[in-house]
Amino acid sequence: MRSLAFRSGLLSLVILTAFLLVWHIATEADHKTSARVTDEYATLMGGSAQTSDIPGPMAVGRTLLSKLSSPFYDNGPNDKGIGIQLAYSLARVISGFVLAAIVAIPLGFVIGMSPVMQGALNPFVQVMKPISPLAWMPLALYTLKDSSLSAIFVIFICSIWPMLLNTAHGVASVKKEWLNVARTLEVKPLRTAWGVILPAAAPTIVTGMRISMGIAWLVIVAAEMLIGGTGIGYFVWNEWNNLSIVNVIVAIFLIGVVGLCLDIVFGALLKLVSYTE
- Interval 51-90: pLDDT, tens: 557 899 999 999 999 999 999 999 887 889 999 999 999 9
Torsional sign, CA 228, 230, 233, 237: positive
Cα 194 to its chain centre, rounded Å, is: 29
What pLDDT is recorded for position 40? 67
Q: Which residues of the chain have pLDDT under 70?
A: 1-2, 30-52
Residue 36: φ, ψ to 5°: -75, 145
Report if pTM > 0.85.
Answer: yes
Eight-state DSSP code of residue 35:
P
Eight-state DSSP code of residue 260:
H
CA distance readout (Å), 60 to 111, 112, 128, 163: 49, 49, 41, 37
What is the distance between the alpha carbons of residues 15 and 20, in angstroms, rounded to a whole number? 9
Cα 249 to its chain centre, rounded Å, is: 18
Look up residue 101 and give its amino acid: A
Comparing CA positions, the residue from 24, 34, 17, 29 lying closest to residue 57 is 24
What pLDDT is recorded for position 51? 55
Largest separation between any pair of C-alpha atoms in the chain: 80
* Cβ atoms of residues 172 and 109 within 8 Å: no
Helices (H), the chain: 2-33, 39-44, 57-69, 82-113, 115-128, 137-144, 147-172, 176-184, 189-192, 198-227, 232-241, 245-273
What is the distance between the alpha carbons of residues 196 and 183, in angstroms, rounded to a whole number? 11
What pLDDT is recorded for position 61? 95
What pLDDT is recorded for position 277? 73
